[in-house]
């Protein structure tokens, strides 16, 4: 339809593109366009680098990939003769430089191109590595309206929006590829409010949704009118397309028909991010399902629940791998979790494998006392058996170690660290407890698993143990998790000096020991499976420390 001069219908497309799937992303854009046309949209707004998928990292440097993205955009542009117009992100080569760009496609062609100015180069972002910075943009004229189109990071400082406002922009339309992390909603809102107040313009924030390796994009797209009224709020972690109505009022343009859906926040958002990250990693990499060791402990139990929520019970295979130190309680707790989830559950004793390894090593180990070496053979036998099941049947092994273990090296290389992906890698042990309790009373709207209690309280409450020897408890080797996690939060998330941590009342010897464990475990973390990022500083993308490193903070 053709809108009156004072009315505009904008379809907001919060979708889940796949990095590198240019043809698939193109078809998703076409389907979205066709549906929006039936709903009377004048313009469909997609997220940042939609055609390429975000973030494309060094893939975007391949000339063949750049050409494929350009061909897709040009094909899509040729199809817009009868509307609606599309505002879509893609990598774009111009003047011999590669840009992170947004293009307006209308009337059968490309009518405007705008390049991202402020390229983020911190935390998980590394855009200066691959893109050139664009010039300060002017607004794009569309149906008698001047659209300002800052791209994601361009609104995190004042300059780009100030330039757009001074050159006549009437509506700010912001395509984003903003990943989830704790506190991100408040940060985005503060930034958006600041730009609205400064420019006195409405701001439409369009974010992508879905998992991409360690990153999970939460969507949660929204619109603030010039008076800071929240006119639109999309859900978190779900795809959503909606046609919104805009009107030119005496005070300027405003969204007059949007809609509000509650976001998923706090611990529930962390849980939903972990599930969506696992779901998309498995599906986008075309694994038929997953396999994981179910030990009777809380970490593997939570991972099993997340896997079923992500994929459904028919695609999750859990295996108990008992040895002579495995307690009857662990056997019954693991079976109870499997029964509650309705998944395939097998028991595969590891005694023959461990004894075979010990027999093979006996000539070399003669005269040496038994120690952690022999204990770790249990973990390595389990890891090898799980990988063998994966090789035979195709399911990806889910790794089940938490951030407390990853921080301190309380994990066995080529054993319990084996696997393709870890949904709880960025959750401290105390957070694993908390999310397990949460899942017993709530689950995400998109979860495929059952409601109700899926992890019994006694499993959550029992003292954590790897059961590598008689009566072993984690606290034999580590401080109590409440203390350990509090220290790790300060050392990892806040990068506090050891002296400052001690000054907060922690035992100096314990703090120094934890700092040492954190430092010497870097080589293990470098070999760990990828996993969902939920904290401000995950291991890998955010916190990149050298393996060879003699610096120690002595406090």
SS3 assignment, position 233? strand
Give ∠ CA 85-161-229 in degrees, rounded to 5: 80
SS3 assignment, position 110? strand
Rg of the chain (C-alpha set): 26
Bridge partners, 218 (sequence order): 209
CA distance readout (Å), 550 to 137, 496, 544, 553, 554: 47, 18, 15, 10, 12
Distance between CA atoms of 502 and 284, rounded to whole angstroms? Answer: 45
SS3 assignment, position 140? strand
Taking only the tens place, the pLDDT of each residue in 21-36 is 999 999 999 999 999 9
Q: What pLDDT score was predicted for residue 4?
A: 47
In 3D space, the residue among 105, 31, 44, 42 whose CA is nearest the CA of residue 70 turns out to be 105
- The answer for residues whose C-beta is within 8 angstroms of residue 13's C-beta and 6 or more apart is 32, 36, 44, 45, 46, 47, 206, 241
Distance between CA atoms of 171 and 161, rounded to whole angstroms? Answer: 11
- Domains assigned to the chain: 7-263 (3.60.110.10), 267-526 (3.40.50.620)
Bridge partners, 97 (sequence order): 94
Distance between CA atoms of 174 and 342, rounded to whole angstroms? Answer: 43
CA distance readout (Å), 512 to 165, 288, 484: 52, 45, 12
Taking only the tens place, the pLDDT of each residue in 365-406 is 999 999 989 999 999 999 999 999 999 999 999 999 999 999
| β pairing state of 240-249 and 252-257 | antiparallel
Asked whether residue 351 is marked as a ligand-binding residue, the answer is no
CB 69 within 8 A of CB 110: no
Asked whether residue 267 is marked as a ligand-binding residue, the answer is no
Structure tokens at 204: 């439409």
In 3D space, the residue among 138, 136, 53 whose CA is nearest the CA of residue 89 turns out to be 53
In 3D space, the residue among 151, 142, 153, 55 whose CA is nearest the CA of residue 104 turns out to be 142
Q: What are phi and psi of 80, to 5 degrees?
A: -100, 15
Asked whether residue 299 is marked as a ligand-binding residue, the answer is yes
| β pairing state of 230-233 and 209-212 | unpaired
Q: What are phi and psi of 294, to 5 degrees?
A: -105, 105
Asked whether residue 178 is marked as a ligand-binding residue, the answer is yes
Asked whether residue 376 is marked as a ligand-binding residue, the answer is yes
Bridge partners, 105 (sequence order): 86, 110
The two most distant CA atoms of the chain are separated, in Å, by 90
CB 289 within 8 A of CB 395: yes
In this structure, what DSSP letter does residue 98 have?
E
User: How many other CB atoms are there within 10 angstroms of residue 335's CB atom?
Assistant: 16
Chain CA centroid to CA 172, Å: 27
CB 104 within 8 A of CB 110: yes
| β pairing state of 344-347 and 43-45 | unpaired
Asked whether residue 297 is marked as a ligand-binding residue, the answer is yes
Distance between CA atoms of 255 and 247, rounded to whole angstroms? Answer: 6
Per-state percent for the chain, helix, strand, coil, to nearest 5: 40, 20, 40
Asked whether residue 298 is marked as a ligand-binding residue, the answer is yes
In 3D space, the residue among 170, 168, 171, 148 whose CA is nearest the CA of residue 160 turns out to be 148
Asked whether residue 294 is marked as a ligand-binding residue, the answer is yes
In 3D space, the residue among 235, 314, 301, 231 whose CA is nearest the CA of residue 268 turns out to be 235
Query: Model pTM?
Result: 0.94
SS3 assignment, position 20? coil
Q: What pLDDT score was predicted for residue 123?
A: 72
CB 41 within 8 A of CB 143: no
Residues known to be catalytic: 48, 116, 152
Asked whether residue 293 is marked as a ligand-binding residue, the answer is yes
CA atoms within 13 A on the CB side of 338: 23
Helix axes 159-166, 184-199, angle to 10 degrees: 30
Distance between CA atoms of 322 and 387, rounded to whole angstroms? Answer: 16
List helix spans (H) across 200-327. Answer: 266-284, 298-311
Taking only the tens place, the pLDDT of each residue in 130-153 is 999 999 999 999 999 999 999 999
In this structure, what DSSP letter does residue 147 have?
E
User: pLDDT truncated to tens, each residue of the chain (555 aa)?
Assistant: 444 479 999 999 999 999 999 999 999 999 999 999 999 999 999 999 999 999 999 999 999 999 999 999 999 999 999 989 999 999 999 999 999 999 999 999 999 999 999 898 877 788 889 999 999 999 999 999 999 999 999 999 999 999 999 999 999 999 999 999 998 999 999 999 999 999 999 999 999 999 999 999 999 999 999 999 999 999 999 999 999 999 999 999 999 999 999 999 999 999 999 999 999 999 999 999 999 999 999 999 999 999 999 999 999 999 999 999 888 999 999 999 999 999 999 999 999 999 999 999 999 999 999 998 999 999 999 999 999 999 999 999 999 999 999 999 999 999 999 999 999 999 999 999 999 999 999 999 999 999 999 999 999 998 887 766 776 777 777 899 999 999 999 999 999 999 999 999 999 999 999 999 999 999 999 999 999 999 988 888 878 888 888 888 887
């Amino acid at each position: 339809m053709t809108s009156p001069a004072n009315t505009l219908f904008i379809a907001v497309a919060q979708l889940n593109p796949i990095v590198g799937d240019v043809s698939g992303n193109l078809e998703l854009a076409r389907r979205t366009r066709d549906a929006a046309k039936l709903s009377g949209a004048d313009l469909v707004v997609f997220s940042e680098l939609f055609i390429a998928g975000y973030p494309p990292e060094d893939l975007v440097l391949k000339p063949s990939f750049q050409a494929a993205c350009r061909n897709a955009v040009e094909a899509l542009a040729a199809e817009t003769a009868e509307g609606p117009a599309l505002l879509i992100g893609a990598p774009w080569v111009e003047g011999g430089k590669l840009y992170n760009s947004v293009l307006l496609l209308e009337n059968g062609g490309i009518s405007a191109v705008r390049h991202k100015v402020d390229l983020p180069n911190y935390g998980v972002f590394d855009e200066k590595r691959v893109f050139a910075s664009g010039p300060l943009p002017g607004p794009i004229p569309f149906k008698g309206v001047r659209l300002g189109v800052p791209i994601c990071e361009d609104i995190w400082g004042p300059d780009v929006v100030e330039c757009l406002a001074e050159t006549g922009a009437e509506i700010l339309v912001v395509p984003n590829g903003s990943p989830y992390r704790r506190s991100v909603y408040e940060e985005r809102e503060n930034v958006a409010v600041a730009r609205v107040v400064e420019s006195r313009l409405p701001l439409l924030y369009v974010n992508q949704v879905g998992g991409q390796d360690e990153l999970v994009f939460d969507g949660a797209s929204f619109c603030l009118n010039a008076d800071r009224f929240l006119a639109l709020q999309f859900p978190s972690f779900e795809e959503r397309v909606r046609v919104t109505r805009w009107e030119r009022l005496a005070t300027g343009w405003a969204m007059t028909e949007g809609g509000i859906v509650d976001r998923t926040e706090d611990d529930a958002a962390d849980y939903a991010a972990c599930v969506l990250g696992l779901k998309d990693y498995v599906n986008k990499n075309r694994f038929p399902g997953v396999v994981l060791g179910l030990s009777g402990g809380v970490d593997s139990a939570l991972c099993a629940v997340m896997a079923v929520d992500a994929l459904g019970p028919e695609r999750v295979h859990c295996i108990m791998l008992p040895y002579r130190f495995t307690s009857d309680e662990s056997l019954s707790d693991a079976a109870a979790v499997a029964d509650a989830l309705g998944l395939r559950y097998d028991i595969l004793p590891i005694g023959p494998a461990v004894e075979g390894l010990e027999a093979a090593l006996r000539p070399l180990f003669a005269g040496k006392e038994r120690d952690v070496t022999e204990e770790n053979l249990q973990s390595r036998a389990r890891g090898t058996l799980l990988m063998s099941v994966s090789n035979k049947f195709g399911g990806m092994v889910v790794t089940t170690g938490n951030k407390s273990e990853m921080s301190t090296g309380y994990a066995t290389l080529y054993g319990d660290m084996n696997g393709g992906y870890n949904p709880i890698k960025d959750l401290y042990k105390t957070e694993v407890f908390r999310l397990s309790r949460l899942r017993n009373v709530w689950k995400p709207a998109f979860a495929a698993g059952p409601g109700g209690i899926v992890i019994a309280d006694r499993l959550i409450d029992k003292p954590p143990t790897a059961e590598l020897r008689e009566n072993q408890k984690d606290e034999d080797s580590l401080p109590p998790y409440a203390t350990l996690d509090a220290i790790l939060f300060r050392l990892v998330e806040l990068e506090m000096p050891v002296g400052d941590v001690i000054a907060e009342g922690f035992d100096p010897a314990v703090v120094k020991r934890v700092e040492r464990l954190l430092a010497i475990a870097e080589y293990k973390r470098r070999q760990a499976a990828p996993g969902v990022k939920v904290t401000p500083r995950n291991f890998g993308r955010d916190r990149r420390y050298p393996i060879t490193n003699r610096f120690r903070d002595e406090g």
